[in-house]
Amino acid sequence: MTTPSKGDDAAGQSERPPHRVRLPGFIANEEIGLGDVIKRATSYIGIRPCGGCEGRAAALNRRVVFSPWRGR
Q: Is residue 30 part of a domain?
A: yes
What single letter denotes the amino acid at residue 52? Answer: G
Q: Is residue 59 part of a domain?
A: yes
Q: pLDDT (tens digit, 9 = 90+) per residue, 40-54?
A: 899 999 998 888 989
In this prediction, residue 49 carries a pLDDT of 85
- Residue pair 23/66 in contact (Cβ under 8 Å)? The answer is yes
Q: Is residue 42 part of a domain?
A: yes
Q: Is residue 52 part of a domain?
A: yes
Domain count, the chain: 1
> How does DSSP classify residue 54?
H
Q: Is residue 27 part of a domain?
A: yes
Domain range for 34 is 19-68
Q: Which H helix or E strand runs over 44?
A: helix 34-44
Distance, C-alpha 6 to centroid of its chain: 22
Q: At 13, is the pLDDT very low, low, confident or very high (cuts 50, 70, 90)?
A: low
Q: Is residue 38 part of a domain?
A: yes
In this prediction, residue 60 carries a pLDDT of 93
Q: Is residue 33 part of a domain?
A: yes
Name beta bridge partners: 32: 66
Phi, psi of 71 (to 5 degrees): -70, 160
